[in-house]
Amino acid sequence: MKIYPLLTAGLVCSLVACGGGSSGSGNQSSSVVSSSVVSVASSQPSSVVVSSSSSVIVEPSSSSQSSDVVSSVESSSSESSVAESSESSVAESSESSQGGTESSASSESSSEASSSVAESSVSSSEQSSAESSESSSSETSSEASSSAEALNWNVYSADYHPATNGSVTLAGGEIAEFTAGGNGDYFVDQFDGTVVLDTSSVGTDTTSATFYNVVNAEGVYPKYFTLVAGVKGNADSLRVLELEVAMADEAQIGSRLKAILRNDGSNKGVQLETANNGSSVNSYNVNDMDKFAIYQIAITLTSSTNGSVNVYRNGVLMPGLSLDNVTMRATSAASDNFVRFGEVSGSAAYKSTVDWVIWTNQAAYSPLALDGLLPAGLGCVYGYGSSDQLETCENPPVSGGSSSSSGGANSSAASSIDHGTAEIRPAKIEGFAAYANVTGGAGGPVITVTTGTELNAALCGVRNGNRTAPVIIMVDGTINHSNTTSQGCDTQNDVIEIKNTSNISIIGVGTNALFDEIGIHVRSASNIIIQNVHIRNVKKSGSPTSNGGDAIGMETNVDRVWIDHNWLEASGGEKDGYDSLLDMKAGVTNVTVSYNIFNDSSRAGLIGSSDSDNKNNNITFHHNWYRNIEQRTPLIRHSLVHIYNNYWSTENRSAMIHGINSRMNAKALVESNYFYNVNNPLLASNDSKVAGCWQTNNDNTLVNHIYSRSVTNGALVIPEIIDGQMQSTCEVTVPYTVDMDPAVNVPAIVMTNAGVGIISTEVGSSSSSSSSSSVSSQTSSSGTSSSSPSAGTGVLVNEEFGVDKATLFSATYKAISTDSSAALYFVTGGNSGITVVNDQLSIVGGRFTIGHRPPRTATTASDLSANGDFDLTSPYRISFTVVSASGAGKVQVYVDNNTTSQGNSLHSNDSKVYEVVANTLTAGQVVEITPSSIGTSTSFIAIRAESSATIVIDDLKLEYID
């Protein structure tokens, strides 16, 4: 073991002023170790620091545990001065000589994540060489931060109620959930990436979330555990949250630690209940326990009864509480082995907002050891190597637009909509709209408008009265009643009327297109696209009124429409003056509704306005988010409707009437959807005399659902549920195929991608109205042979990423021409930041080479040859398609250089043949690189995304130019 003595409170007080304070412990027997308040550094907020003089931070160094990350980070601090931007030569450090897991961890801390490709079949000699070169390179420490590969975090991001299936992502990538406990459930999912715990009104009731089997239970000591949680307290003088860890062996009593975050009375801080030889220990006088903060607990258990504990707050390097080799509290029962949060005891009220909780059993880490190494996508990680500001952590920026909705009976602060953690996808037309070849205004002029009057003019006057001439209208402003007047061609003052016309795209610019209290009506029109617009609070009664109270209404001979990536919302139901968000009636056909948010309305929409309305058909709904909608999601009469990969969530299940209502001869194909907290997710209501029917695919997820209706009590038919799956009542088919996501992934995908401001709306990109209409399923492609064609002819690489990552980086897939055991593709840094998803390659702070032959040592300026697989002495082109890109970091392409310094190549600084800031790339853009005279007869290429860059690519090619 490596032991790092802590600064004692007395030593710290000799450097900065310390103040005394009082303490309290409620009903617990408590011993206050110290009550000194210490400001550790001017860059950190004030924090209570309490420790015994003999406390230690224990970090394991054996090969069976994670390496000494503290040591690695400290030793890398001087190396990080080798700035990447200067493109200086790769620093030759001595870290690679440390060997074993310590060398690998050093690479994690001082460079991109270790190049070990666990998924690939790379030989051990190649692996050792790659690790050595990675250790010697001066990648910035932040590149490792995107992966934190060596730490193996288990993550609860509070995107869902903790007991929801899939709420926890385990270190190995598997999904799981907490087990609910207590005598009540007082966790409330806020649907914005946080969960609220509030027991303030329920007396002695308790509620908790427990995850079992978190440490080795086979008698192995020492045991280690690190838990980090982002939690906001309360301003109501209540306790905040309990965090508990139990670490017992199988059938044995072990030790546990309960940390109570408190803001009740004078007890403001952290209490470790009966943690030190039967006495409680606390660090009170923390005056901002009502604010957001990050709490870290590090435990080293040296036996079943003894251990050491350090508790930190907001990444401050000194622990606020420290126990050194004390007799710890015994577990309540044999075999207790869990991590738990909530209110475990019921003698006091608790109230908090949980943003995220993560844990690992690899080591008892200090904040310094975790600097830059928390998992990506958590949210605010102030104090751990991020640029987050503590004052902004309480209200993180909202992705996908904002709302100033004034609320109402159903309103739930629509402005707090969060967009999950999945990858951003470019817009793609699927379903019946694709099948009918919807193109909108593709090929027509592009007109940008900022008012309703200008929009009406674009629909009519600018087209010179030709109602079939294609036009793309970009909306870059707020459309409302005060700036909308009729401009002829059936346009109106109180609604955006698309009537007796065709071939139109209305597309919002960024998040700027807001239709405020004014709706869009489509009548006797065809080939229409409405994309990336926000429509809110359209009323049919009250003032002002528009469009019969529908955000979007379509009726009478409407054909071939794509409604995509919009945000449709109201602030209540019919009694508040609203009707529906999207209605189709009296002859609407061949429509796809995709990636839209419908929220805070009584009704989402219907297909068919009455039992006699049988002219509507061929409608697709996919990847939509129905949030706090009471009914009609959708209501269907007579029509064939395909409903897949949609997400339903509601805060008040009892107020919900139904989800999908397939009635009056309707046929619904219901596949791979996710229903959370929903009442009557699928039924045929008895509001029609004849039922509709449905076919399901046994991959619809139901979480916390109920059926308040039954046959003869509000329903003609409800589905039989077997093994959690709603059963089919008829056969339903559609004439196309689609790329369907598993239901369990739908919430994250939909929350990330639905709504406005997500996609690129630059005309000509794959997200605009000229999107491809292909609907066939993607097929895998193995690409071309790995053997090189003769110089000057043919394609060297043609990669469509139709395999998983392990296969892609294996020699069995594609091999070096001179060594069948060496993979053509080889990761040189940021391994865990490189993934293959949906037949596309994602790179986040990582890099890899193509065609670099073993032993793949780090290239230098003194190299005489490149040792590559490709003859690049003839003109050639490197190209790829950008699926998505974000971040201020750069995307780079090198020739004959496997480092991050452009000078480390026989081509010197010319080895970097392409560099661009990631967020300047657009979805659908094809990047083509034609280096001039850069290459040899034995060359290779390398592709890299810096730590603050994310790029997803497809169709990677290396080919000769004719």
For residue 730, tell me if it sits in a domain: yes
Give 333's strand partners.
none
For residue 10, tell me if it sits in a domain: no
Indicate whether 715 and 584 sit together in one domain. yes
Domain-ending residue, one of 315, 339, 371: 371
Rg for the chain, CA atoms, rounded? 30
Indicate whether 567 and 710 sit together in one domain. yes
Indicate whether 748 and 809 sit together in one domain. no
The C-alpha angle with vertex 664 and arms to 661 and 670, in degrees rounded to 5, equals 40
Q: What CATH number corresponds to the domain at position 258?
A: 2.60.120.200
Residue 313 known to be catalytic: no
Report whether 930 contacts 875 (CB < 8 A).
yes
pLDDT at 654: 81
Indicate whether 227 and 168 sit together in one domain. yes
Q: Distance (Å, rounded) from C-alpha 284 to C-alpha 320? A: 9
Q: Beta strand 47-48 with 520-531: parallel, antiparallel or unpaired?
A: unpaired
Residues spanned by the domain of 569: 440-753
pLDDT at 824: 95
Which amino acid is it at 189? D
What is the helix (H) or strand (E) element at residue 124, kind and residue range?
helix 124-136
Residues 6 or more apart whose Cβ sits within 8 Å of residue 36? 9, 13, 18, 19, 20, 21, 48, 49, 50
Bond preceding residue 375 cis, omega within 30 of 0: no
Q: What CATH number corresponds to the domain at position 846?
A: 2.60.120.260
Residues 6 or more apart whose Cβ sits within 8 Å of residue 633? 598, 604, 605, 626, 648, 658, 659, 660
Q: Beta strand 351-360 with 195-198: parallel, antiparallel or unpaired?
A: antiparallel
Q: Distance (Å, rounded) from C-alpha 17 to C-alpha 478? A: 54
CA distances from 828 to 121, 129, 136, 878 (A): 14, 10, 12, 19
For residue 211, tell me if it sits in a domain: yes
For residue 136, tell me if it sits in a domain: no
Indicate whether 800 and 863 sit together in one domain. yes
Strands, sheet with 912-917, edge to edge from the N-terminal-most edge strand: 825-829, 847-850, 941-945, 890-895, 912-917
Give 827's strand partners.
848
Q: Distance (Å, rounded) from C-alpha 217 to C-alpha 398? A: 42
Q: Distance (Å, rounded) from C-alpha 250 to C-alpha 234? A: 38
- In a 13 Å sphere around the CA of 827, the CA atoms on its Cβ side amount to 33
- Mapped onto helix, strand or coil, the DSSP state of residue 585 is strand
For residue 215, tell me if it sits in a domain: yes
Indicate whether 736 and 816 sit together in one domain. no
Q: How many domains does one find in the chain? A: 3
Give 537's strand partners.
none
- Sign of the torsion formed by the C-alpha atoms of 429, 433, 434 and 439: negative
Q: 47-58 burial by CB neighbour count: b if 16+ within 10 A, else e?
A: bbbbbbeebbbb
Give 307's strand partners.
301, 326
Indicate whether 718 and 799 sit together in one domain. no
For residue 295, tell me if it sits in a domain: yes
Name the DSSP letter for residue 163: T
Which tokens sit at 944? 């890299």
Report whether 519 contacts 535 (CB < 8 A).
yes
Indicate whether 462 and 512 sit together in one domain. yes
* Average confidence (pLDDT) per 10 residues, the chain, 962 residues: 23 26 31 26 28 31 29 28 30 29 30 31 32 31 34 88 89 89 86 87 83 93 94 92 95 94 91 91 86 94 94 82 91 95 84 94 86 81 72 50 27 32 84 96 93 93 73 96 93 95 95 96 97 96 94 97 97 92 97 96 96 97 95 97 95 88 98 94 96 96 91 94 95 95 92 90 46 28 31 74 90 86 90 90 94 90 88 92 93 94 90 93 92 90 92 93 75
Name the DSSP letter for residue 763: T
What is the helix (H) or strand (E) element at residue 133, kind and residue range?
helix 124-136
Indicate whether 161 and 269 sit together in one domain. yes
Report whether 570 contacts 550 (CB < 8 A).
no
Give 843's strand partners.
834, 951
Indicate whether 449 and 575 sit together in one domain. yes
Among the options 329, 536, 603, 632, which is catalytic? 632
- DSSP E strands in 409-557: the ranges are 446-449, 471-475, 478-479, 496-508, 514-516, 520-531, 534-536, 552-555
Q: Distance (Å, rounded) from C-alpha 261 to C-alpha 270? A: 5
Domain-ending residue, one of 726, 753, 780: 753
- Longest CA span, the chain: 87
Q: Distance (Å, rounded) from C-alpha 661 to C-alpha 626? A: 14
Q: Distance (Å, rounded) from C-alpha 764 to C-alpha 766? A: 7
Domain-ending residue, one of 753, 787, 812: 753
Q: Distance (Å, rounded) from C-alpha 145 to C-alpha 373? A: 4
Q: 489-503 burial by CB neighbour count: b if 16+ within 10 A, else e?
A: bbbbebbbbbbebbb
Q: Beta strand 693-696 with 660-663: parallel, antiparallel or unpaired?
A: unpaired
Q: Beta strand 721-722 with 446-449: parallel, antiparallel or unpaired?
A: unpaired
Q: What are phi and psi of 154, to 5 degrees?
A: -100, 135
pLDDT at 463: 59
Tally helices (H) and strands (E) across the chain: 9, 64
Nearest to 701 by CA among 221, 164, 306: 164
Q: Distance (Å, rounded) from C-alpha 137 to C-alpha 111? A: 7
- In a 13 Å sphere around the CA of 797, the CA atoms on its Cβ side amount to 31
Q: What CATH number corresponds to the domain at position 723?
A: 2.160.20.10
Q: Distance (Å, rounded) from C-alpha 915 to C-alpha 918? A: 9
For residue 787, tell me if it sits in a domain: no
Indicate whether 587 and 692 sit together in one domain. yes
Report whether 625 contacts 655 (CB < 8 A).
no
Indicate whether 739 and 801 sit together in one domain. no
Nearest to 533 by CA among 545, 547, 518: 518
Q: Distance (Å, rounded) from C-alpha 251 to C-alpha 625? A: 46
For residue 763, tell me if it sits in a domain: no
CB count, 10 Å around CB of 613?
20
